[in-house]
Amino acid sequence: MAITYKDLRILFEDNHIIVVEKPQGVLSQSDASGEPDMCTLLAQYRKENENKPGEGFIGCIHRLDKDTGGVMVFAKTSKAAERLNEQKENGTFEKKYLTVVEKEVPGKNGTLIHYLKQYEGKDKVSVVPMAEDGAKKAELEYRVLDVKNDLSLLEIRLITGRKNQIRVQMATIGHPIVGDVKYGNGLKYKMKLPLALWASELKFAHPISKETMVFRVYPPEILPWTAFNVEKYLLINMKNCDRWSEEDK
């Protein structure tokens, strides 16, 4: 049965923004496939719950790959969308991910810089020389949280936001994400595992009040996540809808 807005977990909502946990397997925005997407689902939610004529405005501020789940923020007004996009441009809109990759990642942390390009007619993104026409810089920072059973649990902070960035960069250094059929060896396990990439944290200033807001969500309690003590690394204030301000920490 197709997903509806009633299946979505809303973490926070006011007159300006709505913060939601995107399920894996759901598009961020509509495409030619006609499959359900977060923007359309949330517009339907607003239409049916706010007694407003027409579709409710939903501004898509950032995207997650279809197979990636986790926390997303959407704007409910054009002003909120403009101000959140400004934060993206100036680097104050912060995104962190958890991922489980194959093999032990050496060291405790690192920075990856590659140049990526998507060729016309291809769904995959490729690492290319910096000087190649159309190449876009991709940068991320990673921290090794734990290593078990030839798998590594990483926290990743995106510096840039390119399509499939984490997936292709980790695969390029020989540590593809568990369950990644497109860039890794997702079929090597006896059971088919979902992509082990999760948008675990968002940090931004509220577009109107300017309050610093932080949202964190757990990945699903399935393999390979359950091989690690994720709770140790993701502290969530469940009492306040998974959100707290800097002053609360």
What are the tokens at 78?
Answer: 């054009």
- Beta-carbon contacts of residue 86 (< 8 Å; ≥ 6 apart): none
Amino acid making up residue 188? K
The answer to whether 83 and 206 are in contact (CB under 8 A) is no
- Of 103, 99, 131, the closest CA to residue 115 belongs to 131
Nearest to 101 by CA among 188, 220, 28, 202: 188
Cβ neighbours of residue 152 closer than 8 Å, sequence gap 6 or more: 100, 101, 102, 103, 104, 105, 144, 146, 175
Please enumerate in sequence order all residues whose Cβ is within 8 A of that of 122, keeping only pairs 6 or more positions apart, or say none: none
Angle in degrees, CA 184, 189, 192, rounded to 5: 85
Phi, psi of 71 (to 5 degrees): -85, 135
Active site residues: 65
